[in-house]
Amino acid sequence: MKAKNINNQDSRFSTWKIHLTVATTTLIPAAVGINYIAKALAEGLKLPLWLGSLGTFLASMLAGPTAGAISGFINNVIYGLTLSPVSTVYAITSIGIGIAVGILFHRGWFQNAKRVFVSAIIIALVSTIISTPLNVIFWGGQTGVAWGDAIFATMIGNHINIWLASFTDEFVLDLLDKFAVAYLAFLIYRQLPQRMINYFKDNQ
C-alpha cells in the first residue's frame, strides 16, 4: 500500500518529491541503528574496517535504492551532528553507496558469492570516487585510518600527485571494507525470514 502521500501545505517542501511509505520510514532508523552497531562492533574488535554501511546495504536490498540512499544520508548527518561533525560531508558518499547497492541488488548482482565479489569492487569504486575530493578538501587527502594514511604519506613523500595518493589511500581501505560489508550483507540477507522480505517489498 502506498502511503497516503505527503500533505502539501507548504510549497517549500512539496518540491521534495520523496514519497516515503510508512514501512520505509521505520526501516531507515533501523538501518541507521545497524550501521551504528556494526561500526561499534568493528571498533570493539579492532578490525581494520568501518563496517558502518551494513545497515545502508540491507536497507537498499530490502526496500530499494532510495531507501538505502536516504538511510546513508541521514546516517551521516545525524552521526555527524551528534558525534563527529566533519563526517557529515561524507553523507554524499553514503548516498552513492545506497544507490549503487540498490541498483546492483535489483539487477541480481547479489545472487551468489561470485557476483557479490564484483559488486563489492563497484561499490568500493563509487565510494572512493566520491570520498577522495572530500578527503582532499577537508583533510588534505588523509582518511584518518592510520595504515591507509601511512600509504598516503609514503606516496606524498615520493612526490606522487596528492589526488592519486589520496585515491589510493581511500580505495585500499574502501575495497577491504566494502568486501567485508557486501559479504556480511549477502549472508545476513539470506537468513532473513521471507515474511520480512515480502513486507518491505510490498510496502515500497
Partner 1 sequence: MANYQQLSLNHLSFTYQHDRNPVLDDLTVSVPLNRIIGIIGNHHAGKTTLCRVLAGIVPQIISGKLTGDCQIGDQSPVRDWPAYNQQTGFVLQDPHSQLSGLADTVADEIAFDLLNHGVKETDIQQRVTTVAAQLQLTAQLQQSPDSLSGGQLQRLAIATAIVTHPNVLILDDPTSEMDPQGRRDFFNWLKTVTHTTIVIVSNEIDELCETADELWILEKGHLVSHGTPLQVMNHLNPEWQVTTPMVYQLARLMNWPLAIKPTLFPVTLNQLRRCVNVNHSNQ
Partner 2 sequence: MDIRNHSLQKTVRLHWYNVIDPVTKLLLALFLTLLSFQLTDLYFEVGLVLISLTLLLLSRLSVATLHAVSFSLFLIATMILIQGLFNSHNTHPLVTILSITLYQEGVLYALNMGTRILIIIFSIGFFMNTTTISENATYLESVGMPYNQVYLLMSVCYILPQIQQNLNKIQFAEKARGINLQRTLIQKLQSLLPIMIPLIIKTFDQSINRSITLQLRGFNSPERTIATPMYHYFKPKFNHYFLVFMIMILIGVKLWQIISNFL
Footprint of partner 2 on residues 71-90 (CB under 8 A)? 74-75, 78-86, 88
Q: Taking Cα atoms as reference points, which of 76, 191, 101, 89 lies closest to residue 139?
A: 89
Distance CA 25, CA 5 (A): 12
Q: How far, CA to CA in Å, does 169 sit from each of 78, 96, 122, 163, 178?
A: 26, 19, 17, 10, 14
Distance CA 76, CA 86 (A): 9
Establish if 139 lies at the interface with partner 2 (CB under 8 A). Answer: yes
State which of residues 14, 154, 161, 198 lies at the interface with partner 1 (CB under 8 A).
198
| Least CB distance to partner 1 at residue 95 (A) | 24
Binding-site partner at residue 202 among partner 1, partner 2, none, CB < 5 to 8 Å by type: partner 1
Query: Which span (94-102, 105-113, 120-128, 178-186) binds partner 2, by CB under 8 A?
Result: 178-186
Contact status, residue 143 vs residue 149, Cβ threshold 8 Å = yes
Phi-psi region of 20 (alpha: psi -120 to 50; beta: other; left: phi over 0): beta
Binding-site partner at residue 28 among partner 1, partner 2, none, CB < 5 to 8 Å by type: partner 2
What is the total count of residues that contact partner 2 (CB under 8 A)?
Answer: 74
Establish if 16 lies at the interface with partner 2 (CB under 8 A). Answer: yes
Establish if 142 lies at the interface with partner 2 (CB under 8 A). Answer: yes
Distance CA 199, CA 204 (A): 9
Query: 101: burial class by Cβ within 10 Å (0-12, 13-18, 19+)?
Result: buried
Establish if 43 lies at the interface with partner 1 (CB under 8 A). Answer: no
Establish if 191 lies at the interface with partner 1 (CB under 8 A). Answer: no
Establish if 11 lies at the interface with partner 1 (CB under 8 A). Answer: no
State which of residues 61, 66, 94, 149 lies at the interface with partner 2 (CB under 8 A).
149
Contact positions toward partner 1, by CB under 8 A? Answer: 1, 29, 193-195, 197-199, 202-203
